Copies of this chain bind each other. A is one copy, B any other.
Amino acid sequence: MLILVTNDDGIHAPGIKALSLALAAIGKVVVVAPERERSAIGHGITMHKPLRITEVPWEEPIGKGLAINGTPADCVKLALDALLEEPPAMVVSGINRGENLGTDVLYSGTVSGAIEGCINGRPSLAVSLVGEGEFDFTFAASFTARLAREILKRGLPDGTLLNLNIPHLPEAEIRGIAITRLGRRRYINTVSCRQDPRGRAYYWLAGEKEDLDQGPDTDIGALSRGLISLTPLQLDLTHYAFQEELSTYLPFLWPGHGNK
């Protein structure tokens, strides 16, 4: 069973080392990851420059990893279409240094690696460790391997991926696991304006989180209660409930050319 592992913190990050070695106990792991950090790149792909591959030494039994000068989605595309001899049984992206919760999954490089696996019909999983400072990935990696074993056994429905967020707490303090939905979050006061030595303005994006929906059944709510959050995702953004209302706009847009 081939397992493709990628991330967005870059191939030298400790999270992908821990993840790949834990998964090596349940399958043959191939690591294809960005050569440097690609956080907050969203679901980007690289079409305007050529991609190159560099081998990186890796602990046994994996032996080597492949570093790409691109995004997590690039890594998955390249692996599936050019590097792997057979389709992987699973794509796992992570373990990210920091959370990927709620609306932020749309910006997340970690989740984009799993989205690309899902688009291409592979059971896919994104994993993040929620906290700050010095991370210990030991528990998160072994928990992820248990989940991966279950997914390999049962599969996932077509078009489904999983987003896993694990609190960075001592194992005894983690209160359990919750199946969640995505919360809603945005950032406020995102822009900091400064002046360079020549008096020209420049701007940094940063900002503070504002949680618009952190209900107990959301991923954000679960983490705030010390739970592991496991959210099933799908890729259809259609707002079905608004279709009928929207059709009432049509007579005003182009008379005689209404809903076909």
Contact = CB atoms under 8 A, between A and B. Distances in A.
Interface of A: 39-47, 50-53, 73-74, 77-78, 81-82, 103, 105-107, 112, 115, 119-121, 143, 146-147, 150-151, 154, 156-157, 159-160, 162, 174-179, 181-182, 184, 186-191, 193-194, 200-207, 222, 225, 227-228, 230-240, 242-243, 246-247, 249-250, 252-254, 257-260
A200 B52 contact: yes
B206 A253 contact: no
Contacts of A162: 246
A42 B44 contact: yes
Contacts of A176: 254, 257-260
Contact of A46 (B81, B205, B259): B205
B240 A178 contact: no
A146 B81 contact: no
B259 A179 contact: yes
A41 B42 contact: yes
Most buried by B among A41, A194, A236: A236
Most buried by B among A74, A203, A235: A203
